[in-house]
Structure 1
């Protein structure tokens, strides 16, 4: 059973690396890649097994992307779908008592949030040019201060929402395993099922918020 919040830190070239987070991150990525391979190695007209699971996820997210972002959403669809799969897998890893979720480390969630916000500004400048910068000064020039504060708050709220919910779930599972006798598994099973649900919801919320932020940058003004 892992200790919540305790990380094995390695010092490399003057930088600190949370090894547990790195291991779990690579494990989550490997699982996502494995699922993709299993789902696509033998495609069927009528999907079944992993192909069916993956098609449900992709179709559902693709419809949300099209509705939110319009035609240009195709550019970031692979990123958003991969992001959802990675976060979902990462969240669920922490449900195993001997493992920890990469998303229970603020470094991971903040890194993901900063990636999305940076992409928002890069794509906004690419598609809209000067008009993208101009919108920070609307409706009046002094509003630039409020708009900049809002931009700074985006990665913070994205990161802390996901981090806080996943960390809380891990803590409560560990506490339940310590307090509930082994011959009374029902409370633990119920909470585990609820945590799986919360992990899925948090992955969906993070992806939807990322989609909304990216839509403001790529969506055509006449849509």
Structure 2
């Protein structure tokens, strides 16, 4: 259990585990742990799927190849049934989002003290105060990460809207819908801009809120009962096995839906 300056306490323990390892100041503060873990997990996804693609056989597949094929087929069927435009980017994008978010969410199942304690040990060996060595290992519990993902989706929404409808069509969609009368153009514009900005906001906060709440419960379990945390940890982890893939699926599904709406010509 992490110690606060005044000794061991549950509040100090929780605060320590919810603090990111960061560098910089103000707006230019970088959460090193979020960046590092998200990049590492991104490479795990790319390299593992690439290895399967290079060694894929048409005969009886191995277990990992069968798993990858199942995921790819699931995402492909979801895109075909949801996205009604024509773009070769949507299916790879959906696959990347689903697997990457899934891997980041799965970091939530690692016992909360394991990797932070290891980081504190390494920091102590390097001459740092272990009490001031921080590490959050679940990137999706950092709102900056979920907002970065949703902003990427938002940029693609704008891109496809302009690509399919043109600049004029995109602007007309903002001011002439739902009431196509000049007297209410200003009202339409306010409604549509709010609805447009609400999409990436809700997309990011939904993922962040669910994973942050799950991680907080893991920390509370560990902070209140210490080494006896494992039985309760495994019980909550078993329930969390439903939340982790569900949140990855919802993020992927909403991304496809938003891009499909942006690609509709009317």
Q: Which moved more, 1:99-108 or 1:67-76?
A: 67-76
1:121 corresponds to: 158
Structure 2 CA distance for partners of 1:8 and 1:186, relative to 1, 3 Å? closer
2:33 is matched with which residue? 20
SS at match of 2:56: coil
Distance 1:195 1:37 in 2: 29
Structure 1: distance between partners of 2:264 and 2:28: 39
Do 2:85 and 2:263's aligned partners in 1 also have CA atoms closer than 8 Å? no
Find the counterpart in structure 2 of residue 75 from structure 1. 89
Corresponding residue for residue 182 of structure 2: none
1:43 is aligned to: 56
- Look up the SS of the partner of 2:109 in the other structure: coil
Q: Which residue of 1 aligns with 2:237?
A: 192
Specify whether residues 86 and 126 from structure 1 end up closer, same or farther in structure 2 by C-alpha distance, changes over 3 A only.
same
**Structure 1: where are the runs of 5+ without partners?**
none
Give secondary structure in 2 for the equivalent of 1:164.
Answer: helix
User: What does residue 68 of structure 2 align with?
Assistant: 54
The answer to whether the aligner puts 1:150 opposite 2:195 as a matched pair is: yes
1:74 aligned counterpart, secondary structure? coil
Q: Does 1:91 align with 2:130?
A: no
Structure 2 distance, partners of 1:178, 1:11, is: 29
* 1:66 alignment counterpart: 80
Equivalent residue number for residue 217 of structure 1? 262
1:139 to 163, 178, 198: 178
Once the two structures are overlaid, the 10-residue window that deviates more, 88-97 or 37-46, is 37-46
Looking at CA atoms only, which structure, 1 or 2, has the larger radius of gyration?
2
TM-score, structure 1 length as denominator?
A: 0.89
Q: CA offset at residue 38 of structure 1?
A: 3.6
Q: CA deviation at 1:220?
A: 5.3
Distance (Å, rounded) in 1 between the aligned partners of 2:109 and 2:44: 15
Q: What is the aligned residue count?
A: 221
Which residue of 2 is the match for residue 9 of structure 1? 22
Q: Deviations over 1:72-118 (max 9, x none)?
A: 14332111111111100011112212261111101100011011011
Residue 217 of structure 1 and its aligned partner are, at CA, apart by: 1.6
- Does structure 2 conserve the Cα–Cα contact (< 8 Å) formed by 1:66 and 1:73? no
Encode CA deviations 1:42-71: one digit per residue, 9 max, x unaligned: 212233322111111111111111111135
TM-score under structure 2 length normalisation: 0.76
SS at match of 2:24: strand
Residue ranges of structure 2 left out of the alignment (5+ in a row): 3-15, 116-135, 180-184
